[in-house]
Amino acid sequence: MHAAASTTTESADRRAGGTPGRFRWRVVDIVIASVIGVACAAVFLLWNVAYQGPSAVLTPLLPGVQGLVAGPWLIAGVLGGLIIRKPGAALYTELLAAVISALVGNQWGPLTIVSGLVQGLGAELIFLVFLYAAWRLPVAVLAGAGAGLACGINDRVLWYPGADTLFTSVYIASTTVSGAVIAGLGAWLITRALARTGALSRFAAGREATTRV
């Protein structure tokens, strides 16, 4: 019954000239994207406190270099995009994680949601540039860098309005690098690790890992 229904739907999509299921969110997509958002929110909550140590070490070295600690706050969008592979996934998972972080409580309050929106859009735009059709490591790194760049610009506007050119340049460069390495490479490695366990068997990311093996 399920197979027949799926075949009928795909045939209808082909007659309409569309790509079967490529951009359509399934219930499982919504559920897993929400799980990713909640899991990353837990990471955010931990990093909201833990980042202070590394930041205190980096800050005296060079103005703005503390932006290197931004990566863990950027991973939700890239991870969601790599796993769900649908328009809006990166934005949804990053924003959901930020909303939960704000609701639970942190030192930045409701502006955390603004940050989540901007950072999610940064990653989302990279996936859009590749038409939601490329999911290899270079794209993941670029998506992380996009989230990091958006983070740096947003932080400069919200939290460092009087910063000079040196601080601004170093800070934005640092958040971009942190996003590329921690959020981009990190999310790609997490996705591959999850795929190998079979947890992503209902997603293209999981099927690709199985095919390679």
List, for residues 2-37, the tens digit of each pLDDT value: 434 443 444 444 443 445 568 999 999 999 999 999
Give the pLDDT of residue 107: 95
Q: Residue 58 burial (CB < 10 Å; 0-12/13-18/19+)?
A: middle
Give the pLDDT of residue 212: 54
* 8 Å CB contact between 142 and 180: yes
Give the pLDDT of residue 134: 97
Give the pLDDT of residue 11: 41
Give the pLDDT of residue 210: 58
Give the pLDDT of residue 213: 42
Give the pLDDT of residue 209: 63
- Single out the residue of 104, 98, 106, 67 nearest to residue 80, CA to CA: 98
User: What secondary structure does DSSP assign to 114-145, as a single string?
Assistant: HHHHHHHHHHHHHHHHTTT---SHHHHHHHHH
Provide the 10 A C-beta neighbour count for residue 118.
21
Give the pLDDT of residue 32: 98
Q: Running DSSP on this structure, what letter comes out for residue 180?
A: I
The CA distance from 104 to 153, in Å, is 25
Q: Any idea which residue has 């992503």 for tokens?
A: 200
Give the pLDDT of residue 22: 81
Residue ranges, the chain, pLDDT below 70: 1-21, 209-213
* 8 Å CB contact between 130 and 139: yes
Structural domains of the chain in order of their starting residue, each with its CATH number: 25-212 (1.10.1760)
pTM (predicted TM-score): 0.88
* 8 Å CB contact between 178 and 148: yes
pLDDT digits (tens, 9 = 90+) for 178-192: 999 999 999 999 999
